[in-house]
């Protein structure tokens, strides 16, 4: 929802490598559901401490509206989510396993930022803010006391 295929096409023309999620439209979800089991390839995610380390993928080129050339699409299922993950990228060299691992790290960063923003949201419970403030004050006081003792 943050950009368009036309903008991704411009990035490609500027030789900027990108990786992003494709919106799961009903038509795309139906395509995933109609894909035969034999088309899916099982891969192993390395250097990942997670329960779901062997997802199934389909790596193919697709033609998207407003994107001037075919783009790489990696459909991923069995990652522990109810719905499949659909990654699109102009990176033709990186393996599926590396792409998924890289995007998973990016999602951890995005989730951490989101949690930080939600923490200070007006509708958030004030008790959690007070706990963080109390902890910061406590650490500051301990630090000052240690400084004066030494």
Instruction: Give the tens place of pLDDT for each residue, 11-53.
Output: 888 999 988 888 888 999 999 999 999 999 998 887 666 677 7
Other residues' Cβ atoms within 10 Å of the Cβ of residue 25: 10
Using a cut of 0.75, tell me whether the model's pTM lies above it. Answer: no
CA distance 133 to 119: 12
CA 93 – CA 144 distance, rounded (Å): 53
Residues 6+ apart with CB under 8 A from 50: 80, 104
């Amino acid at each position: 929802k943050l950009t368009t295929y036309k903008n991704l096409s411009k990035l490609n023309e500027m030789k900027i490598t990108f990786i992003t999620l494709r919106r799961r439209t009903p038509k795309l979800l139906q395509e995933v559901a109609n894909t035969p089991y034999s088309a899916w390839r099982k891969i192993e995610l390395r250097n990942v401490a997670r329960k779901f380390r062997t997802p199934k993928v389909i790596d193919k080129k697709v033609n998207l509206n407003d994107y001037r050339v075919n783009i790489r699409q990696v459909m991923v299922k069995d990652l522990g989510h109810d719905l499949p993950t659909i990654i699109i990228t102009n990176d033709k060299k990186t393996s599926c396993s590396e792409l998924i691992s890289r995007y998973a790290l990016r999602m951890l960063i995005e989730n951490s930022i989101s949690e930080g923003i939600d923490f200070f949201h007006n509708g958030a419970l004030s008790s959690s803010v007070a706990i963080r403030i109390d902890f910061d004050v406590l650490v500051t006081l301990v630090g000052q006391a240690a400084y004066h003792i030494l």
